[in-house]
Chains A and B, each alone.
Chain A
Amino acid sequence: MTSGHRPSPLLAACVALIRVVGHTLPKVERTDWVMEWSAEMRGEWLDLEERGQLTLLKRVALARRSLGAVVDAAHFWIEALLMTLFDFRTALRAPLRDLRTTIVVVLTLALSIGANTALFSVIYNVLLRPLAYPEANRLVMIWDQPMDDPEITSVISPRNFEDWHEQNSSFEHLAAFNLWAVTFDFRGELQRVPGIIATGEYFQALQVQPILGRVFTPEDNRSGAEAVVVISHGLWQRQFGGDSSIVGRAVPTSRSGVTVIGVMPPGFRDPGGFFFATPDVWGTFRRDFLGENRRSHWMRTVARLKPEVTFEQAQADMTAIAARLAEAYPESNTGQTVKVVPLHEQVVGDVRLELWILTGAVALVLLIACANVANLMLSRAVSRNQEFAVRTALGAARTRIVGQLLAENVVLALIGGAGGVALAHWGARALIGLAPDLPRAETVVLNAPVLVFALTVTIATGVVFGLAPALQAGGVDLHAALKAGGRGSEGHDRRRLRSTLIVSEVALSLLLLIGAGLLTKSFLELRGTDPGFDESNVLTLRLNLSRGESATDALRAVVERVEQLPDVEYAGAVSSLPIRGLNNVGLGWTINGLETPLTESLNSFYREITPDYFSAMRIPTLSGRTFSDMDRDGAPPVAVVNDEFVRRYMNGEDPIGKQVSSSFAAPFTAEIVGVVRGVQYHNLETPPDPEVYVPHAQLHFLGVMFLAVRTAGDPLAPATAIRGTLRELYPNMVVDEVATMEQLVATSVARPRFNMLLTGIFSITALLLAGVGLYAVLAYSVTRRVHEVGIRMALGASGRSVQRMIVLDGMKLVVVGGALGLGAAFALTRVLQSLLFNVAVTDPATFVIVPAVVIAVAALASYLPARRAAALDPNTALRQE
Chain B
Amino acid sequence: MSRIQLTYSTAAVLNALGNGPRYGFDIINATGLPSGTIYPMLRRLQRSGIVTSRWEEAADAHRRQRPQRKYYTLTAKGETALADALQRFPALAGAALPDGVPNPR
Contacts and interface: CB of A to CB of B under 8 A. Distances in A.
A639 to B, nearest CB: 103
A46 interface: yes
A44 B67 contact: no
Interface in A15-54: 35-40, 42-44, 46-47
A40 B36 contact: no
A1 B23 CA distance: 18
Contacts of B90: none
Interface string A44-72: 10110000000000000000011111111
Contact of B28 (A38, A65, A69, A71): A65
Q: Summarize A's interface: helix, strand, loop or mixed.
A: helix
B67 A43 contact: yes
A1 B67 contact: yes
A71 B38 CA distance: 10
Contacts of A35: 68, 70
Contacts of B102: none
Contacts of A75: 40, 43
A42 B39 contact: no
Contacts of A70: 36
A42 B66 contact: yes
A2 interface: yes
Contact of B36 (A1, A46, A67): A67
Interface string B52-82: 0000000001000111111000000000000
A42 B67 contact: yes
Nearest to B68: A39
B70 A36 contact: yes
Of the listed residues A1, A2, A66, the one surrounded by the most CB atoms of chain B closer than 10 A to its CB is: A1
A39 B69 contact: yes
Given A40-B23, A43-B25, A44-B25, A68 B34 contact: yes
B66 A1 contact: yes
A1 B56 CA distance: 15
A68 B70 CA distance: 17
B67 A2 contact: yes
Interface string A208-234: 000000000000000000000000000
A70 B39 CA distance: 11
B24 interface: yes
A72 B67 contact: no
Given A40-B24, A43-B25, A44-B25, A71 B66 contact: no
Contacts of B7: none
B19 interface: no
A39 B70 contact: yes
B35 interface: yes
Interface in A708-748: none
Of the listed residues B39, B69, B70, the one surrounded by the most CB atoms of chain A closer than 10 A to its CB is: B39
A69 B34 CA distance: 10
Contact of A46 (B24, B66, B70): B66
A40 B25 contact: yes
Contact of A71 (B23, B35, B70): B35
A39 B67 contact: yes
A636 to B, nearest CB: 113
B69 to A, nearest CB: 6
Nearest to B99: A47
Contacts of A36: 24, 69-70
Contacts of B24: 36, 40
B25 to A, nearest CB: 4
Interface in A65-118: 65-72, 74-75
Of the listed residues A2, A35, A71, A72, the one surrounded by the most CB atoms of chain B closer than 10 A to its CB is: A72
A75 B70 CA distance: 20
A43 B43 CA distance: 21
Interface string B21-41: 001110010000011111110
Contacts of B43: 75
Nearest to A66: B35
Given A70-B36, A72-B35, A72-B36, A65 B25 contact: yes
Contacts of B65: 1, 4, 46
Contacts of B68: 35, 39
Contacts of B25: 40, 43-44, 65
Contacts of B66: 1-2, 39, 42-43, 46-47
B69 A43 contact: yes
Contacts of A47: 66
Of the listed residues B36, B37, B43, the one surrounded by the most CB atoms of chain A closer than 10 A to its CB is: B36
B1 to A, nearest CB: 14
Contacts of A66: 35
A399 to B, nearest CB: 22
A69 B69 contact: no
Contacts of A74: 36
Contacts of B38: 68
Nearest to B36: A71
A25 to B, nearest CB: 12
A220 B65 CA distance: 103
A307 B65 CA distance: 80
A40 B25 CA distance: 6
Nearest to B39: A72
A259 B86 CA distance: 102
A70 B37 CA distance: 11
Contacts of B37: 68, 71
A71 B28 CA distance: 15
Contacts of B67: 1-2, 38-39, 42-43
Contacts of B23: 40, 43
Of the listed residues A37, A39, A65, A75, the one surrounded by the most CB atoms of chain B closer than 10 A to its CB is: A39
A254 B27 CA distance: 104
Contact of A40 (B34, B61, B69): B69
Contacts of A43: 23, 25, 66-67, 69
A42 B23 CA distance: 13
A71 B40 CA distance: 9
A71 B25 CA distance: 15
A114 B58 CA distance: 65
B26 to A, nearest CB: 9
A292 B91 CA distance: 117
Interface string B1-26: 00000000000000000000001110
Contacts of A46: 65-66
A36 B34 CA distance: 16
B42 to A, nearest CB: 10
A676 B34 CA distance: 106
A38 B23 CA distance: 13
Contacts of B69: 36, 39-40, 43
Nearest to A45: B66
B56 to A, nearest CB: 10
Contacts of B36: 67-72, 74
Contacts of A67: 35-36
A4 B36 CA distance: 31
Contacts of A65: 25, 28, 34-35
A45 to B, nearest CB: 9
A46 B68 CA distance: 13
A137 B77 CA distance: 80
Given A35-B68, A65-B34, A74-B36, 18 more contacts: A1-B65, A35-B70, A38-B67, A39-B66, A39-B68, A40-B24, A40-B25, A42-B66, A43-B25, A43-B66, A43-B67, A43-B69, A66-B35, A71-B34, A71-B37, A71-B40, A72-B36, A72-B39
Interface of B: 23-25, 28, 34-40, 43, 61, 65-70
12 contacts: A4-B65, A36-B24, A39-B70, A40-B23, A40-B24, A42-B66, A42-B67, A43-B23, A67-B36, A68-B38, A68-B39, A69-B36
| 8 closest A-B pairs by CB | A68-B35, A71-B36, A68-B36, A39-B67, A75-B40, A72-B39, A40-B25, A65-B35
